[in-house]
Chains A and B, each alone.
Chain A
Amino acid sequence: MASTAVAEAPRPAGFRFGRAARRYGWTVAVYALLALLMVITIAIKPDYGSFEWNTLTLAALPLAFAAVAQTMVVLSGGIDLSVGPLMALANVLALRAMLGHDLNYSLVVALIVLLEVTLAGALNGAIIVVTRVPDIVITLATSFIWAGLALLVLAKPTPGIPLDFQNLAQGSTFSPWVPNALLVLLVIPLVWIPLRRSRAGLAIYAVGSDRNAAFRSGVNLGWSRLLAYAVCGFFAACGGLALSMTTGVGTPLAGTYYTLSGVSAIVLGGVSLAGGRGGMLGPVAAAYILSLIPAVLIYLGIDPNYGQMIQGVLIVIVVMIGGLGVVLRRA
């Protein structure tokens, strides 16, 4: 019989290595880049210590959540341009309710805020699924709504997050090199790993990967997309609370920065904007990289205004390298 393209024999180890490189190569490269940047930082600033490290983790925390929130939706094949305003909403809701209360009260408030903003995220998803209007349009519109609501809750930046609540992220309970801000990140695997292993999590990947095939595989497209938006809302709420903890301030206008930087982080983190491909490790590392750049500039004595520019250039370079691969392969 004719031989066909069907490979039937068990594959040699080399193939498996190639496959691992293809699947996880980007994530490894992002961590390598982060490590390289850290080395450079320490070379520039020999007295880099736990304080600087702590500052970095604090700056990266809200962004990491923003990136993870966006990743949820992008994996399902969508995009959420309202992640930043959702974070701002969580942030100001927390401030309004916590003002002048103790830790226990604040923790209850935090739970309620998580619930509220998760629902807001789910509402994004519900509108998209029900109206069938493209996600980019709906979340663009709802970004106005969440930002407006945030302004209604709090008209201008106001300090007043209880100190005990702030210290959940700001201190270093265990070791100066393991700041609490790093530990708070554990929320991500706590939610993500069980989700990813569940059928619902697989369904989210499935919807992003190939909607038609997902439908034929019996996946409920509407619910899966809605779930992705709801989990995105949850992580955005975490991001808003992280913002409260790290800054102690309620800032109704924090939104725009985190929407854009969140998208930057997932691109850098190797999540395919086409959906269905990527994980959470890459975006988190990318959030650290993006937060490290302004710090490095300051250590170098360069105007931190260059930070935004460099972030933009970095993304352009990263995506162009990705694109170049496609172009070269075609040739």
Chain B
Amino acid sequence: MSVRVVSAVRLVQQRSIVVLIALLVALAGLIEIIRPGAVNASWVSNILEFAAPLGILAAGQTLVVITGGIDLSVANVATAAAYIMASQAPYGVTRAIVAGLLVGVVVGLVNGVGVAVFRVQPLIMTLAMGLVVTGSLNVYSQAAIRSVPGVPAVIHALGSGTVLGYVPVSLFLWAPLAVLLILGLRGTGFGRLLYALGDNLEATRLAGVRAWQVLLANYAACGLLSAVAGLVLSGTVNAADLSLATVLLLPSVAAVVIGGTSIFGGSGSYSGTIVGALILTVLNSVLTLLDVPDAVKQVLYGAIIVILAAAYTRVLGHD
């Protein structure tokens, strides 16, 4: 009995993902029509390379949104992680990377304490922490008199290198991470609890779950993923300035929403988010190809998110 039930859920989820993938293919087709021959292996490679930082950043966002929260500090954390990594690079690459990732974990933990222990609304907590992170980073950058630090070669290779000519190196990080997250959300106790908390916090408590532990771990994980995304991004653009990832904040939420994760929590998947991130990246590529000015690009970008979200809500009939 319940087998049928579960497979029915899967079917609906998969169907919506099929729709999203179809959209992705349609966008690629559009590019091919605009400029025949443009969609080739190196284009795909490029798309994957640019989608990777967004995809990883949106991974953290997905985890938080599933619990019914939102993390508005992901971009600030990514920026800070990359900047601190770069500024620590002269003392050794390992130390630099660890320092960068640590930034993410620490900020994530503070977010987690605020949300889980002090019951602060996630929107507010992460917004405020975003301000704290950016403010602190400004102060730090003035103290570290050095000019904008360079990105170590390893990170540069991670962010923009390719293997066999076409396979981006970042894919070797992103793909295993994606598999881990997709399986983890579906098949581990921790994953179950994220959905449970997003659905009904009080019910989850009544079932004997200490919600703060789950949330704390989850926000820390989100912080860590944001830091990873920041490092990859700094490798992709080969720089780490004070506004590195700022532009990715809104897309990180948009990718999650387009991917079908409910902003109210309790349902969704990372596979959807991946497709969402790819759609946004391809969309950007289409607009660039059309030589659309940045301002118009922004307007179209916004309009398309509205249309996608509306279509999605209509199709799945959430009430």
List chain A positions with a Cβ less than 8 A from chain B: 79, 127, 131-134, 136-138, 140-145, 147-149, 151-152, 155, 260, 263-264, 267, 273, 303, 305-313, 315-316, 319-320, 322-324, 326-327
Contact partner, B309, options A133, A149, A151, A306, Cβ 8 Å: A133
A145: B residues at CB distance < 8 A: 298-299, 302-303, 306
- Asked whether, in the complex, the Cβ of A308 is within 8 Å of the Cβ of B142, the reply is no
Question: Across the two chains, which residue of chain A brings its CB closest to B115?
Answer: A323
Interface pairs (16), CB distance under 8 Å: A79-B123, A132-B313, A133-B313, A137-B253, A138-B306, A140-B250, A141-B302, A141-B303, A141-B309, A142-B302, A143-B302, A145-B299, A148-B296, A152-B295, A323-B117, A323-B120
| B 112-148 contacts with A by CB, 8 A | 114, 117-121, 123-125, 127-136, 138-139, 142
- Asked whether, in the complex, the Cβ of B306 is within 8 Å of the Cβ of A148, the reply is no
Contact partner, A148, options B117, B123, B295, B319, Cβ 8 Å: B295
Contact partner, B124, options A155, A263, A306, A311, Cβ 8 Å: A263
Q: How far is the CA of A260 from the CA of B75 in the complex (A)?
A: 14
Using A149-B295, A315-B128 as known contacts, say yes or no to A141 and B123 having CB atoms under 8 A apart.
Answer: no
7 smallest beta-carbon distances between A and B, as pairs: A309-B135, A144-B302, A148-B298, A312-B131, A308-B135, A312-B132, A151-B295
Q: How far is the CB of B155 from chain A (nearest CB, A)?
A: 26
Q: How far is the CA of A53 from the CA of B310 in the complex (A)?
A: 47
Q: How far is the CA of A273 from the CA of B123 in the complex (A)?
A: 9
| B 284-319 contacts with A by CB, 8 A | 293-303, 305-306, 309-310, 312-314, 318-319
Excluding A148-B299, A152-B295, A305-B139, 20 further A-B contacts by CB distance (< 8 Å) are: A136-B70, A140-B250, A140-B253, A140-B254, A144-B250, A144-B302, A151-B295, A303-B142, A305-B138, A308-B132, A309-B131, A309-B138, A310-B135, A313-B132, A315-B124, A319-B114, A320-B118, A322-B120, A323-B117, A323-B119
Contact partner, B264, options A134, A140, A149, A151, Cβ 8 Å: A134
- Asked whether, in the complex, the Cβ of A273 is within 8 Å of the Cβ of B70, the reply is no
- Asked whether, in the complex, the Cβ of B294 is within 8 Å of the Cβ of A312, the reply is no
- Asked whether, in the complex, the Cβ of B135 is within 8 Å of the Cβ of A260, the reply is no
State which size class the interface on B falls in: 35 or more
- Asked whether, in the complex, the Cβ of A137 is within 8 Å of the Cβ of B305, the reply is yes
Q: How far is the CA of A18 from the CA of B200 in the complex (A)?
A: 33
Contact partner, B257, options A137, A315, A316, Cβ 8 Å: A137
List chain B positions with a Cβ less than 8 A from chain A: 70, 114, 117-121, 123-125, 127-136, 138-139, 142, 250, 253-254, 257, 263-264, 293-303, 305-306, 309-310, 312-314, 318-319
Question: Across the two chains, which residue of chain A brings its CB closest to B256?
Answer: A137
Q: How far is the CA of A312 from the CA of B107 in the complex (A)?
A: 13
Q: How far is the CA of A169 from the CA of B136 in the complex (A)?
A: 33
- Asked whether, in the complex, the Cβ of B298 is within 8 Å of the Cβ of A151, the reply is yes
Contact partner, B134, options A137, A138, A142, A308, Cβ 8 Å: A308
Question: Across the two chains, which residue of chain A brings its CB closest to B120?
Answer: A319
A303: B residues at CB distance < 8 A: 139, 142
- Asked whether, in the complex, the Cβ of A319 is within 8 Å of the Cβ of B263, the reply is no
Between B120, B296, B300, B310, the greatest number of chain A beta carbons within 10 A of the residue's beta carbon is seen for B120
A132: B residues at CB distance < 8 A: 313, 318-319
Question: Across the two chains, which residue of chain A brings its CB closest to B298?
Answer: A148
- Asked whether, in the complex, the Cβ of B306 is within 8 Å of the Cβ of A127, the reply is yes
The SS class assigned to the A binding surface is helix
A326: B residues at CB distance < 8 A: 119
Q: How far is the CA of A143 from the CA of B301 in the complex (A)?
A: 10
- Asked whether, in the complex, the Cβ of A264 is within 8 Å of the Cβ of B138, the reply is no
Q: How far is the CA of A132 from the CA of B316 in the complex (A)?
A: 12
The A/B interface has a contact count, at CB < 8 Å, of 151
- Asked whether, in the complex, the Cβ of B138 is within 8 Å of the Cβ of A308, the reply is yes
Contact partner, B114, options A142, A308, A316, Cβ 8 Å: A316
Using A151-B295, A305-B139 as known contacts, say yes or no to A319 and B303 having CB atoms under 8 A apart.
Answer: no
A144: B residues at CB distance < 8 A: 250, 298-299, 301-302, 305
Contact partner, B132, options A263, A316, A327, Cβ 8 Å: A316
Q: How far is the CB of A8 from chain B (nearest CB, A)?
A: 32
Question: Across the two chains, which residue of chain B brings its CB closest to A326?
Answer: B119
Question: Across the two chains, which residue of chain B brings its CB closest to A152?
Answer: B295
Question: Across the two chains, which residue of chain B brings its CB closest to A274?
Answer: B121
Contact partner, A263, options B127, B138, B296, B313, Cβ 8 Å: B127
Q: How far is the CA of A308 from the CA of B314 in the complex (A)?
A: 40
- Asked whether, in the complex, the Cβ of B127 is within 8 Å of the Cβ of A327, the reply is no
B263: A residues at CB distance < 8 A: 134, 136-137
- Asked whether, in the complex, the Cβ of B127 is within 8 Å of the Cβ of A131, the reply is no
Question: Across the two chains, which residue of chain B brings its CB closest to A307?
Answer: B135
Q: How far is the CB of B193 from chain A (nearest CB, A)?
A: 21
Q: How far is the CB of A78 from chain B (nearest CB, A)?
A: 12
Q: How far is the CA of A326 from the CA of B116 in the complex (A)?
A: 12
- Asked whether, in the complex, the Cβ of A308 is within 8 Å of the Cβ of B295, the reply is no
Q: How far is the CA of A86 from the CA of B121 in the complex (A)?
A: 25
- Asked whether, in the complex, the Cβ of A148 is within 8 Å of the Cβ of B297, the reply is yes
Using A141-B305, A144-B301, A263-B127 as known contacts, say yes or no to A151 and B119 having CB atoms under 8 A apart.
Answer: no
- Asked whether, in the complex, the Cβ of A152 is within 8 Å of the Cβ of B299, the reply is yes
Q: How far is the CA of A142 from the CA of B307 in the complex (A)?
A: 11
B114: A residues at CB distance < 8 A: 316, 319-320, 323
B314: A residues at CB distance < 8 A: 131
Question: Across the two chains, which residue of chain B brings its CB closest to A134?
Answer: B263
A323: B residues at CB distance < 8 A: 114, 117-120
Q: How far is the CB of A265 from chain B (nearest CB, A)?
A: 12
Q: How far is the CA of A327 from the CA of B120 in the complex (A)?
A: 11
Question: Across the two chains, which residue of chain A brings its CB closest to B318?
Answer: A132
- Asked whether, in the complex, the Cβ of A273 is within 8 Å of the Cβ of B124, the reply is yes
B119: A residues at CB distance < 8 A: 323, 326-327
Q: How far is the CA of A148 from the CA of B305 in the complex (A)?
A: 14
Q: How far is the CB of B89 from chain A (nearest CB, A)?
A: 23
Q: How far is the CA of A320 from the CA of B111 in the complex (A)?
A: 11
A148: B residues at CB distance < 8 A: 295-302
